[in-house]
Every structure is written in structure tokens, then in C-alpha cells.
A and B are shown apart, each in its own frame.
Chain A
Amino acid sequence: MNPLHRRMGRVGSVIALIFGISVLVFLVLRVIPGNSIMTSFGTETAVLTPHQLAALEKFYGIHQSPVGQYVSWITSMMRGNFGYSAISGQSVLSLTLISLPVTIELALIATTVGSLLGISLGMLSASKPGAIRDFFSQATSILFLAIPAFVTASAIVVVMANVFGYFPNALDYAAPWQNPWLNFQQMMFPSFVLALTVAAPVMRTTRTSLLDMSSQDFIRTAEGKGLSRKRVLWRHLLPNSLLPVVTMTGMQFGYLLGGAIIVEQIFALPGIGRQVLTGIMQRDYSVVQSTTLVIAVMFVFVNLATDSLYRRIDPRIGKSESESRTKA
């Protein structure tokens, strides 16, 4: 199978996956409360203009069989019709275009900070396995894992807002290009909370990886060459150990895109998770349906990108199977 075929195969399975996801979302949201959408259609759509109403009907594929409804939905999405919010009348596409960047910024900061923290703790822990610092690092990582994000977030809100009277998130959200300082202040607490949830698994992976790698032969070879401890660590041990961490970090980032819902809610960040949640609370099904699909598709793409990145970094992953091995 030549590289082109393989790439096409990969693209094909991704497309199949996305379609599968859309079917799943459709089934979960429509088949069960399907009737309620139809029955509420007349009463809850007062906000919409006639044009929007028509577009929404097309989105839902009203009066069609379930399969027809699914097809209508998919074709509408592909044409850019993500539906309209029955509550506010805004198009879901425009809502998403505003909310997605917020979550991306949050996820980026949280993942970066969390990974750095996790890697540092992992390195600290692995430097003297079994010692006190190892014990404390691991205990810390378990706490990060076990204390739910919403607990940490609530605690911060209580302390900051009520005790210190400092709560930047009470103000309207400021995008980084509007007001960088305010944006930073609004992002710092939620991204800190999320960074903790990222740090825990990253720390574990780093620690395990480092310990496994240390006993590998090539480390002995490196030392046998007369390299200093520092050089062995930074040039040989760390690069090899961090490979699995790259994958883990990518996964965490993808997860945060859809998993930051609760934190976004607590800190009133208008991200895509909050969009879904609000949609659910308000029974705004078109919002929920489209947004969920968008999040899931993004998750798939992030995983793909992480995979690609990993292939780039690790020279062992066959770029081309045609690369011949020189025989002895």
C-alpha cells in the first residue's frame, strides 16, 4: 500500500468516524425528546424572523422521517446552517464562532501550564524514586486528580469574590485583542483550575516514562561516552521520555475543548462548553445538537493532529515502508 493510499484510507476512516458521531448525536438528542421539539416549535420560536424560522425548519427536517430529518440536518450543517437559538434568535454558527476561540484560549493556557507543571513534578519525582520528594509529588498529583475541578473553582470563587472582593469574571468577557490585561485576569483562575487536572496525568506519564527510560541501554552508552549527568538528562533521557507525554498532552487539550463545561459555567466564560450547557438548560435543542457535533469533531481533529505530530517527532514511525534496511 503506497503512502497515498494509506493517507486516503486514514482520511476515509476519519470521515466515517465523523458521520458516526453525527448519527450518535442525532440519535441521542432527537429520537428521545423528538416530539418535544416539534410540539414546542410553534410556541418557543417567537424570537425568530420568518427567514430564520424557515432555516430552522430545514435544519430539523420537519415533517420528514427520522432518516430524512438526519439528512436534512447534515446537509444544513454542511451549508453553514447550524440552526438558530429558539431563545435568542441568534444563529448557532455565529454563536459558535464567538465561543469557540474562548474555549481554545482557555484550553491552550491550561494545557501549557498543566503540562509544564506535570513534567516538572514528574522529573522531580523520578529523580529519586522512593524518596520523600517522590512521595509528595505523587500525593500532590493524586490530589489534583481527586479534587474535582468544580470544587477548586467554587473555592476560588468563594475566597476571591466574597472574601477579597476580587472577581474579574463578573465583568463582561474581554477578548485578548480587546483588553489583554482583563482577558488575562479572567482567564487565570479557570485555566489554573483546569491546569491542575492536566498536570496529574501528565505527571504520572512523565514519571513512568523517565523511570523506564533510565534503565535503557542507550543511557548507559551515553554515560559510557563520558557525558555529564546534565547532558545525559537533557539530550538523551528527556527527549525519549517525553514522547508519550506529547500524546498525553494533546489528548488533554482535546478533552478540555469539550470538558471545560463546568469551569466555564462557574467563571461565566462564554466558551463553547457553556454554550452547550445553556442550550441544555434552556431546552434549546438546535444549539445543543450543533454545538455537540462541533465539539466532538474538534476532538477528533485534535487527536488526529496529535497523532500526526507524534509521527513527525518520532523518526521510528515509518514515514515510508519502502525505506530499506541496510543489511549487515
Chain B
Amino acid sequence: MKTITRRLAHGVNGIIGLSLLGVVLVLVVLDVTGLGMKDVLAQNGALSFHAPSSSHIFGTDQFGRDILSRSIAGLVNSLRIGLIAVAIASIIGTTLGILGGFVGGILDDAISRMSDLLFAFPAVLLALAIVSALGPGSFNTAIAIAIVYVPIFVRVARGPVLTLREREFVKAASLLGFSSRRVMRHHILPNLAAPVIVQISLSLSWAVLTESGLSFLGLGTQPPNPSLGLMVSEAQAFASTAWWTLLFPSIFIVLLVVTFNMLGDGLRDALDPSWNRE
């Protein structure tokens, strides 16, 4: 464990990922504690479209709301939805993948077929269809994204299980009489941890991207709650004169995506034993 964190902290990807994660966490703390945050919902016409200044570092939007605070709240919102979605997807997907890989047979066939089915859709389209069926809102967005990302976790979990099942040390353990559950826990799961963790980070970055896209279309978090995608969408109308309404929410989206992307890459470098630097 210690070596992993050390390798993570030494790789370029890991360094950037961790630093950005630090920034994100600071922002989360700000939002949660309310430190330095202005009211996210209160409207004040007199303050609308103020350019960035000392009192409003990111400026204000069309309703006079502080964009910095809204962006931070939006970031936390996107993060929360993403985390829920990826948590659901990873738990369901990994479980199904392990079951399918370990048990094999018809169960495995069924699981693979279903996940192929979900893979047959472009992600955005599927998420869109599900959200349109469920209705707009934060939670439904999380569900939709979760469903879209289940198959990738199935695949990530199933692969190693299949290869490991055939490896000598697993077969030896079974022959020695260890129960399937024990074999699973001691031999298979530890080897799964790495790819799943990497995938969690990467999926999180994609989840944020998808969530903000859906919010942009108005199908995600509903106004007046702060949502980065929604802020960008609304900003289109004003950005020619109030550029700050577009720039800052966009930067926060990019921040989230890059953070988890780099973190995922860094984790992959740190956890993959065959990844050797010259």
C-alpha cells in the first residue's frame, strides 16, 4: 500500500491528479462549511452582471448571484451526482462481472449479452433516453449515468476473474479444499482491486462530463439549483458581454474532469506491476 502511494505521488499523472484533487477537496470543504460562500440562490437584480471584482471574484450572473459560490456549489453537485452514479455502477457492475466470470455458464452468457446490449448504445444517447423516461432532475441523472456505466465495470471485473480462475494458484487453492468464497476473497479480489479502482476514477471523470452535458440540455439538475452545465447553457445568451458567466463554470467542469482523469492514469501507472519506466 505504501509503495503504491509513493509510486502514485512520483508519477507525473499522479502528481497532477493528486494536486488537483487537493484543490477539489478544498472547494468541497468550502461548500460544506459555507466558508467564504455567498448565498447561492438569493436573487438581487441590482447586482446582476457585475464583472469580476474583489467582492465577487468570479462576477455575478443574470440574477445577481455570485458566480464563484455558485460554481463551487455546482462543482460539488456534479461531484455528488457522479459519485452516486459511479458507486452504483461499480458495485452492480463489479458484482455481476465477478459472478459471471467465476460461475461461468449460462449466467455468464446472460450477463455478457446484457452488457453487450448496453454497450451497443452511444453513452450520451442512452443516458438521454433514460433521463427522458425518468424525468429530469439530479437523482434521475445519477441513475441514468449509473446504468450507462454498469457494463464497463462488468467488463473490467470479468476479465481478470476469467484469467485468474485458470491460474495455477487459484486451482491449487480449490484443490486444497478452500471454499469458493475463500478463494474469491483471498486470491481473486485483491487482483481485481487495481483495475476496478482505476476504472472508478476514469468513470468519474466521464460521469461528470455526461452529467454536465445533460444539465446543459436542461435535463439534469433543475434551476434555480446550481449546476455547472446549466450555468454554461444559460451563459450562452449573455457571454458576449458578460464573459465571466461562461468562463468560470467551464473551468470548474474541466477541473473535475482533468482531476479524475489524471488520477485514474496515475493510479493505473502506480498499480500496474508490469508498467516499467525505462
Contact = CB atoms under 8 A, between A and B. Distances in A.
Q: Do chains A and B touch in the complex (CB under 8 A)?
A: yes
Interface of A: 17, 20-21, 24-25, 28-29, 32-33, 142-143, 145-151, 154-155, 157-158, 161-163, 254-255, 257-259, 261-262, 265-266, 273, 276-277, 280, 288, 292, 295-296, 299-300, 303
Given A148-B253, A151-B254, A261-B124, 13 more contacts: A17-B117, A17-B120, A29-B129, A143-B254, A146-B209, A148-B216, A148-B254, A155-B239, A158-B240, A258-B121, A258-B122, A258-B125, A295-B125
A157 B120 contact: no
Interface string B188-226: 000000000000000001000100110011010000000
Interface stretch (B41-49, B90-98, B130-138, B152-160): B130-138
B133 A33 contact: yes
Contacts of B81: none
A20 B114 CA distance: 8
Interface string B86-122: 0000000000000000000000000001001110111
A151 B253 contact: yes
Contact of A261 (B113, B128, B233, B258): B128
Interface size class of B (residues with CB under 8 A): 35 or more
22 contacts: A17-B116, A20-B117, A28-B130, A28-B133, A29-B132, A32-B134, A147-B254, A148-B253, A150-B232, A150-B233, A151-B246, A158-B236, A259-B124, A261-B125, A261-B217, A262-B213, A262-B217, A273-B125, A280-B128, A280-B219, A292-B129, A296-B121
B222 to A, nearest CB: 15
- Would you call the interface of chain B mostly helix, strand, loop, or mixed? helix
A300 B129 CA distance: 17
Contacts of A261: 124-125, 128, 217
Contacts of B133: 28-29, 32-33
B124 A258 contact: yes
Contacts of A161: 240
Q: Which of B113, B128, B213, B233 has its CB near the most chain A CB atoms (within 10 A)?
A: B128
Contacts of A257: 122
B239 A162 contact: yes
